[in-house]
Structure 1
Amino acid sequence: MNVVINLLFFLLPILSSFWIAQTFNPLSSYQPLHAIDGAALYKKELPNGNEAYLQVIDLRKIHIDQIIGKVDNMGINEGKYYQGESKYYSPFFKRHLFSEVAEEYKKLYSNNVFSIINCSFFEQYESSTQLSFPIKLNGVVISGGNSPYGPIKQPKDKYYSNIRLKALVWDNKQAYITDYNQVSGVPLNQNRVKNAIVTYRYSDHPAKILAQNQANKYQVIGTLDKDGVKGDELLLIMTVNKATLDEAADLLRKLGVKGDIITVDGGRSTYLFNSQNGNIIVPQLSNPQENPAFRNLPHYLGFRKTIKNQVAPKILIGQLTAKVLPKKDQPYLILWRDNFDSDVSIKLYDGNKLIQNISSRTASDGVYEWIPRISVEEGYFIRISSWKDRNIFGDLQL
């Protein structure tokens, strides 16, 4: 009898899940557009001819790349949201046209690419901009944020004096959304956290609080458990063409998301690219006379298969129109993109002359924080080379 009882206790959760799956499928109202092993894109028709696009990302099979513009100015001591106000840097990142970002991403990863979206908020509309809130890229916190609409001493609106910012953290197994502590930097200051973005809970977005929850283009994100084991392996991204933030978040709730839901940059900046369907939603100009640079964005997320790339190894480094010299004894971010797993070396040259071996060997993860101990002169360049094959390299002209 005990054997039978134990067997029933074992089978009951499985049978219950099977019965629920047979009686209710939350995706039944969504049209599948593209699916690969580890990721799927769906479309849902909303009232009044509006649309929603759902991406389901399995982090055990899909890799997320943070695609960042080049550093135009380090913004030393201008950070507002990492380990204390005005105690960290908040760089100006060059904004890149969405179509150029997509082409570069496909050049690096070819058929492994699944999708691209825009990510971090920004509030400066020049060729380079600071990001609104902190992000961590492959183990390095690269911005302390600079938004006036957050919990700082003198926010632009008193509502934001005491809000709690949220951090989305992910790795190759799971993702989670948690409270962000701007004084301590938790969780971004933790060594085990390699990639994270800080942003608003959807209900704290200025469009909801200050603009009466207007219908617009938004991207909201939640996490979901798939296998019943502790930890959310699925990242759910909902991109709405014209809906309120409440309506967008409610779509995720109906799919089973129970924890916090966050929002990333939206409105006219909203961008959704899929490798099979092309540009689905692109950044829009409000009128024909508006500066087309609005379609240039500083921070994207790219989603691709984690399998080995079949494309020839490459190192890509974007160039700035103005020369930006690293300053002696101050941090400087070296950013690049490559498509291989082996390490790289980073060296400073003046023509053919080696000036400094910045790092003889470091991970090919696209980011290196360098503090020069010498004066760097105009005309020098930084070369990033594959540690295995020095013929694979990229140069950043200073």
Structure 2
Amino acid sequence: MKVVFHLFLFLLPILSSFWIAQTCNSLSSYQPLQSIDGAALYKKELTNGNEAYLQVINLGKMHIDQIIGEVDNMGLNEGKYYQGEGKYYSPFFQRKLFSKVVNEYKELYANNVFSMINCSFFEQYKSSTQLSFPIKLNGVVISGGTSPYGPIKEPKDKYYSNIRLKALVWDNKQAYITDYNQVSGAPLNQNAVKNAIVTYRYSDHPAKVLAQNQANKYQLIGTLDKDGVKGDELLLIMTVKQATLDEAADLLRKLGVKGDIITVDGGTSTYLFNSQNGNIIVPQQSSLQENPTFRNLPHYLGFRKKTKNQVTPKISISQPVAKVLPKKDQPYLILWRDNFDGDVSIKLYDGDKLIQNISSRTASDGVYEWTPHISVKEGYFIRISSWKDRNIFGQLQL
């Protein structure tokens, strides 16, 4: 019996890869690079001598992490796309070096890590940046977005006056892409929606609309049903090294994607990491003096197995470049990363002195929106601790 069981464990990734291959049409022209139970990575040689990389993620077996730099400035009332212009905050998030982000991700989740990509568009090229469009992280809308290329009153190009932005929404079973409403905030304003990103339909990307559909590096995402039951369980991510958006979208269509296809951040900042193949595509150094580097990015998506982690429990917080003091009676985002399922406590200290119990117990989901009703002084720090073991903690100096 033990021999049969071990043989099953050995064959599981192979069977999973076979199942994924059967689910998607036209995979015969793709070279498999890695397959595990719940995810697969493929490579395709394009006719122009360039390459495309396909990730197939089964949301029933894989977890998606949004990895976001710590807050440098809350950008109060600067949001343009959540519940109306100027009605929400749009923070500046620290841009983090891709190699440091992936190393931290591997430290937290070890052999469970499958891959990582860059995700949200961003506008500024300093140490921290606002995100172009809204993001919802584990139940909290953390940004209202600031892009000038979207349906606002005075966009930089009239084409964007009336475009329909798209929202990618996912949970632990399925994903879907739907219209986004910047007045109401739907679907991000729904309690049932815990994680979502707002972005362009591929055909509305400025590279296609304003730059004549130029060939470049792009990340495109679509969803696919695997079992005929309502709901798309598969997330398909296509990363191309040198192709047009139309060509990249056509690759997903040929794999069976019927609904909307979206883009996330691409071009010079395109990043694709895989646990077995390493850094496949890395952000490039720019020759433009005003945009010196794209190697530091504010928002990533990490993909890992849902199975129990076998590493030491840890809470990670990176200190932003600027020390941002939370302001009395105004919202402030506390962000962290951890690798355990238990709850955490969040407290405000001045040295050894407890100033405020921000939350005696909350989910260890990496985000907490805090509105202090006291004056917070420079030198205070926020400590996030495991609720079960106070020796597991991380600190943010204010």
After TM superposition, the structure 1 = structure 2 runs for residues 155-304 of structure 1, keeping only pairs within 5 Å, are 155-287=155-287, 293-304=293-304
- Aligned letter for 1:311? V
Separation in structure 1 between the aligned mates of residue 366 and residue 214 of structure 2, nearest angstrom: 38
The answer as to whether partners of 1:343 and 1:361 remain within 8 angstroms in 2 is: yes
Q: What secondary structure sits across from 1:163 in the alignment?
A: coil
Following superposition, the deviation at residue 38 of structure 1 comes to 0.2
The answer as to whether partners of 1:116 and 1:301 remain within 8 angstroms in 2 is: yes
> Partner residue of 1:387?
387
Cα gap change, 1:76 to 1:214, in 2 (>3 Å): same
Q: What secondary structure sits across from 1:294 in the alignment?
A: coil
> Partner residue of 1:317?
317
CA RMSD, Structure 1 to Structure 2 (Å): 1.3
Q: What secondary structure sits across from 1:48 in the alignment?
A: coil
Following superposition, the deviation at residue 323 of structure 1 comes to 1.3
Following superposition, the deviation at residue 123 of structure 1 comes to 1.2
The answer as to whether partners of 1:114 and 1:303 remain within 8 angstroms in 2 is: yes
Q: What secondary structure sits across from 1:141 in the alignment?
A: strand
Separation in structure 1 between the aligned mates of residue 254 and residue 78 of structure 2, nearest angstrom: 40
Report how many residues are paired.
377
Runs of 5+ unmatched residues, structure 1: 1-20
- CA offsets per residue over residues 56-115 of structure 1, 9 Å max, x none? 000000000000000000000000000011100000000000000000000000000000
The answer as to whether partners of 1:95 and 1:297 remain within 8 angstroms in 2 is: yes
Separation in structure 1 between the aligned mates of residue 225 and residue 278 of structure 2, nearest angstrom: 29
Q: What secondary structure sits across from 1:183 in the alignment?
A: coil
Give identity over the alignment, percent: 88
Separation in structure 1 between the aligned mates of residue 320 and residue 221 of structure 2, nearest angstrom: 32
Following superposition, the deviation at residue 288 of structure 1 comes to 8.6
- Aligned letter for 1:391? N
Q: Rg: which structure is higher? A: 1
Separation in structure 1 between the aligned mates of residue 303 and residue 74 of structure 2, nearest angstrom: 28
Is 1:74 matched up with 2:74?
Answer: yes
Separation in structure 2 between the aligned mates of residue 44 and residue 338 of structure 1, nearest angstrom: 35
Separation in structure 1 between the aligned mates of residue 287 and residue 116 of structure 2, nearest angstrom: 25
- Aligned letter for 1:69? G
Separation in structure 2 between the aligned mates of residue 273 and residue 50 of structure 1, nearest angstrom: 18
Q: What secondary structure sits across from 1:147 in the alignment?
A: coil
- Aligned letter for 2:162? N
Following superposition, the deviation at residue 49 of structure 1 comes to 1.2
Runs of 5+ unmatched residues, structure 2: 1-20
The answer as to whether partners of 2:286 and 2:292 remain within 8 angstroms in 1 is: no
Separation in structure 1 between the aligned mates of residue 160 and residue 307 of structure 2, nearest angstrom: 43
After TM superposition, the structure 1 = structure 2 runs for residues 24-173 of structure 1, keeping only pairs within 5 Å, are 25-173=25-173
- Aligned letter for 1:351? G
Separation in structure 2 between the aligned mates of residue 287 and residue 77 of structure 1, nearest angstrom: 34
The answer as to whether partners of 1:224 and 1:234 remain within 8 angstroms in 2 is: yes
Bigger shift: 281-290 or 98-107? 281-290
Cα gap change, 1:156 to 1:291, in 2 (>3 Å): closer
- Aligned letter for 1:131? L
The answer as to whether partners of 1:73 and 1:92 remain within 8 angstroms in 2 is: yes
Following superposition, the deviation at residue 195 of structure 1 comes to 0.1
Bigger shift: 353-362 or 312-321? 312-321
Separation in structure 1 between the aligned mates of residue 158 and residue 289 of structure 2, nearest angstrom: 34
Separation in structure 2 between the aligned mates of residue 330 and residue 322 of structure 1, nearest angstrom: 18
Following superposition, the deviation at residue 290 of structure 1 comes to 7.3
TM-score normalised according to structure 1 size: 0.93
